[in-house]
Amino acid sequence: MIKNTRTLGEFIIKHQLAFPYSTGELSNLINGIRLAAKVVGHEVNKAGLVDILGSYGETNIQGENQQKLDVFANEKFIQALDNREIVCGIASEEEEDFIALNSSDKKNNNKYVVLIDPLDGSSNIDVNVSVGTIFSIYRRISPIGSPVQLEDFLQPGKNQVAAGYVVYGTSTMIVYTTGDGVNGFTLNPAIGSFYLSHPNIKFPKKGNIYSVNEGNYVHFPEGVKKYIKYCQKEEEDRPYTARYIGSMVSDFHRNMLKGGIYLYPNSEISRDGKLRLLYECNPMAFLAEQAGGKATDGKIRIMDIEPKELHQRVPFYCGSIEMLEKLEEFISIENNN
Ligand code: AHM
Ligand code: MG
């Protein structure tokens, strides 16, 4: 039986009509992401078939440039957003500096900036494991008509107007929020349309999955070590199950549907952790909160952190609210000792 036949396109139009003064620009922007997601998803799906896995800069047997998929994804998302004349600038994990769009003279009348991790977890591509794209959307701060500025990108996560991810898994899905709950859409590859498959997703308050790279355990802060031991202890509903794909989008997606916690702590080897605040942590934090979950750096709400740099890293803990609260208890006890 067909459960739900609403497409992403229909969903976007319906939701746009719900905002009386909406100009349709944000909807148009999400449509750009939808298009790029299909193009990248198509390429990811044939990664094992085509000669596309060589390193960037090499040429293949036909003399064409080979592109790594993260470079390919970066280009496709930038192109899709550039074509729509809504976005004034993009910051990407793949680019050292932000890119000013739609402006030969660097002036710009567009309202939005987008921050993006075009292919998160890309080391998983070579071994046929799910990867994802993460995006975060803000209104610019600098006046419309002026050149886009760094300050437009260095906004705290609580200013986000929309955020989401695409997961290229057993199926391709777009999951996003515009601050009114979280909805997930699954691609029907035969037709090329995304269908609303996961309306109004909610993080279970508590779960039994913990996701962390335990190989780094000895370097973790004491509070996190003790929390991991707590997860493993045979007591009440524990031990929890350990699940770590090494592709944050996929780990987050599973935890949001089933209930769980994702941890990427700071450590003796990486002082601020690994994950980037602006295009990895903030969008996931927005989704988590919209779904009733929580995201912190161990002390501070992720979306309250004032960013200082484009590629800033932060410790990242995210998931079911009761699991996060327990972790924070362990961290604060250690901090007060
Ligand atoms: P990337 O943006 O270079 O792919 O790095 C981010 C990824 C996350 O998706 C994943 O959770 C994490 O790095 C895995 O890191 P590690 O191999 O250190 O566990
Ligand atoms: Mg990444």
Per the structure, the complete domain to which residue 53 belongs is given by 8-198
For residues 325 and 206, the answer to whether their CB atoms sit within 8 Å is no
Mutate to test the pocket of ligand 1, among 275, 277, 278, 318 (most ligand atoms within 8 A of CB): 275
Q: Are residues 63 and 166 in the same domain?
A: yes
Site residues for ligand 1, CB cut-off 6 Å: 93, 117, 120-122, 213, 246-248, 251, 274
Residue 246 has pLDDT above 50, yes or no: yes
| Predicted local distance difference test score (pLDDT) of residue 90 | 96
Whether the bond into 239 is cis, omega within 30 of 0: yes
In the structure, what pLDDT confidence band is assigned to residue 63 with cuts at 50, 70 and 90?
Answer: very low
Whole-number Å distance, alpha carbon 248 to ligand 1 midpoint, is: 7
Q: Are residues 125 and 230 in the same domain?
A: no
User: How confident is the model over 311-336, as a mean pLDDT?
Assistant: 96
| 65-111 pLDDT, tens digit each | 446 888 999 999 999 998 888 999 999 999 999 999 866 555 678 99
User: How confident is the model over 43-69, as a mean pLDDT?
Assistant: 61
For ligand 1, what atom is nearest to the CA of residue 132?
A: 9
Which domain CATH number covers 224?
A: 3.40.190.80
Q: Are residues 16 and 164 in the same domain?
A: yes
**For atom 6 of ligand 1, which residue has the closest CA?**
121
For the chain, the domain total comes to: 2
Please report whether residue 1 resides in a domain.
no
| Predicted local distance difference test score (pLDDT) of residue 296 | 98
Cα 133 to Cα 44, 57, 117, 231, 297, distances in angstroms: 11, 23, 6, 29, 22
In the structure, what pLDDT confidence band is assigned to residue 61 with cuts at 50, 70 and 90?
Answer: very low
Q: What is the pTM of this model?
A: 0.93
Please report whether residue 83 resides in a domain.
yes
Q: How far is CA 278 from the centre of its chain?
A: 10
Whole-number Å distance, alpha carbon 121 to ligand 1 midpoint, is: 5
Q: Are residues 125 and 215 in the same domain?
A: no
Please report whether residue 172 resides in a domain.
yes
Whole-number Å distance, alpha carbon 147 to ligand 2 midpoint, is: 27
